[in-house]
Amino acid sequence: MVKLFGTDGIRGRYGIYPITPSSMLQLGWCVGTVCREQNPRLSKVLIGRDTRISGHVIESAITSGLLSAGLDVSILGPVPTPAVSYFCRSSDAVAGVVISASHNPAHDNGVKLINSDGSKASDQFQCSIERMMQQPLAISNTVKLGKFTRIEDAVDQYSSYLCSTADTSLQGLRIVVDCANGASYRIAPKVLTALGANVISVGVNPDGYNINHQCGSTNPEFIQQQTIDHAADVGIALDGDGDRVVMADRQGNLLNGDQLLFVIAMARKRDNRLAGGVVGTLMSNIGLERALSDQGIPFERTDVGDRYISERLMQLGWNLGGEESGHILNGETGAPGDGIAAVLEVLREIKNTGRSLHQLVEGIQLVPQVTVNVRLQNRTAPLSQLDLRQWPQIGQALEEAELKLNYCGRVLLRASGTEPIIRVLVEGDQDKNIEEIANNVADAVREESHLNS
């Protein structure tokens, strides 16, 4: 069986299997067939996408496959990933499909599957799809074909929902919002303006090719400079599909997901809205764990990926989790991260306390952390199956790293679930050797990978 799904759905370069029109047609048919088998009472699937030029082709192909399997399809158009989750929760849809490669360049695209309750599809559901992809496509007769509709006011509906979650006016705040020329380009400015903020919008002119290009949460230097140039109180940078966010204070200092998670956790604790503790990931900065511990807030780690955070939140009955990259999850809904919703919680705290964003993060001191990405070539086995620590040069490099850190830091090797990349993370209280240590371990990974490819 061919493995299609990674930690965040299917992702790859458009035109190369599986991101091809024919494969996406097959995928649509498989999703429709499995949905009909598992939940015959519901027959509608929602589809949302970001602004990539290839999104139109993939949307058409998946739609054709779903209709051929006898399911109805409602098209939402360009909307953030969490919007698809919201519409699944609030309608009679059996599933949702998000066409996006998130923060990747425009030449990539991908597919995420959403359950009827708004959560991301389980491993079991995705395995069912992968098995079905090996079978020949069977076309229904015209009596069994699904019907096609468009939800023309999806942007307005989701904007209204987000506004309804905010109980504080943003009047008096000057905000720069960078929408990465992606899925949030209409919704984010609309919501912030409706709540009374003075909004300067950038990254809101998608042309199909400029999504995430020198903008968005993965290019934070842009929002840092824009915040300074416009003398704004706050800068906001979303990613291509709107499920992650980073921010800048008025001095242009960058605030990542760990820092924003701390601000939200403190606000919820004060207002008795924090259920239990906070869930982070293996990549979460130890400074977040320490800051939360100082406030008596429990902290747990999962593997990287908002799906794993969501699952752990539901298991624990907690309602807040997130990643350093800017995914912030509200465990009350089980939905994927929502960049705009997270921003509204932070802005609410700024207005309610009268403190600046810079002041709100004074209670968290991040530990110096360096991540080096090692791209591997010609790998046949899935990266997740590689036991890198057992390779001699890597094992030796890790031992040397721990000695240099004086056992007062962390060295983490993690295979990306979406790209052929090994991430080397080194974290320690003293930053003078962190970059050197990370590069030494990364060199060992490159060398061993070459020897074992």
- The catalytic residue positions are 102
Contact status, residue 78 vs residue 26, Cβ threshold 8 Å: no
Q: What amino acid is encoded at 5 in this protein?
A: F
Contact status, residue 335 vs residue 321, Cβ threshold 8 Å: no
- Calpha distance 232→250 (Å, rounded): 6
Write the burial class of residue 451 (CB in 10 Å: 0-12 exposed, 13-18 middle, 19+ buried).
Answer: exposed
Element (H, E) at 417: none
Structure tokens at 393: 């040069």
Residue 4 CA: distances (Å) to CA of 120, 134, 276, 312, 324: 16, 11, 35, 24, 26
Contact status, residue 271 vs residue 283, Cβ threshold 8 Å: no
Write the burial class of residue 356 (CB in 10 Å: 0-12 exposed, 13-18 middle, 19+ buried).
Answer: middle
- DSSP 8-state code for residue 20: S
Residue 181's DSSP bridge partners are none
Residue 422's DSSP bridge partners are 374, 415
From 238, 258, 205, 204, select the one nearest 339 (Cα to Cα): 238
Q: Which residue has the tokens 């590069």?
A: 439
